[in-house]
């Protein structure tokens, strides 16, 4: 659990610095230790949104909503992912 917290905090620090790829990698490492912790999925979804990886962001939010069907951050970030996917589709 200690390693999980350290990785999550490192991910949070990367987000604060705008280093979204590095943050996403830290959150992915967290998921190897605990697949049920929703915050790392919503945090990684935020990183994916910043990196224009909308499908990946949507997938993380879907996972959270299977565990916590009323997670507001997951609903919000999934909506942003859908919006990003629609804009990309429209521009093609």
Residue span of the structural domain in which 61 resides: 1-91
Q: Band of the pLDDT at 92, cuts 50, 70, 90?
A: low
Q: Band of the pLDDT at 72, cuts 50, 70, 90?
A: very high
> What is the rounded distance in angstroms from the CA atom of residue 79 to the CA atom of residue 74?
8
Residue range 5-23: mean pLDDT, rounded? 98
pLDDT over threshold 90, residue 89: no
Instruction: For residue 17, give the CATH number of its domain.
Output: 1.25.40.10
Tokens of residue 14, six digits: 């990367």
pLDDT over threshold 90, residue 56: yes
> Among 72, 68, 41, 70, which residue's Cα sits nearest to residue 57?
41
Number of domains composing the chain? 1
Q: What torsion do the CA atoms of 60, 30, 25, 92 make, to the nearest 10 degrees?
A: 0
CB 63 within 8 A of CB 50: no
- pTM here is 0.92
């Amino acid at each position: 659990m200690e390693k999980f917290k350290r990785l999550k905090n490192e991910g949070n620090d990367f987000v604060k610095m705008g280093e979204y790829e590095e943050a996403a990698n830290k959150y992915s490492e967290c998921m190897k230790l605990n697949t049920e912790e929703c915050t790392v999925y919503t945090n990684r979804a935020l990183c994916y949104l910043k990196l224009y990886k909308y499908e990946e962001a949507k997938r993380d939010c879907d996972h959270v909503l299977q565990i916590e069907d009323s997670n507001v951050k997951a609903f919000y970030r999934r909506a942003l992912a859908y919006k990003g996917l629609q804009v990309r589709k429209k521009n093609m």
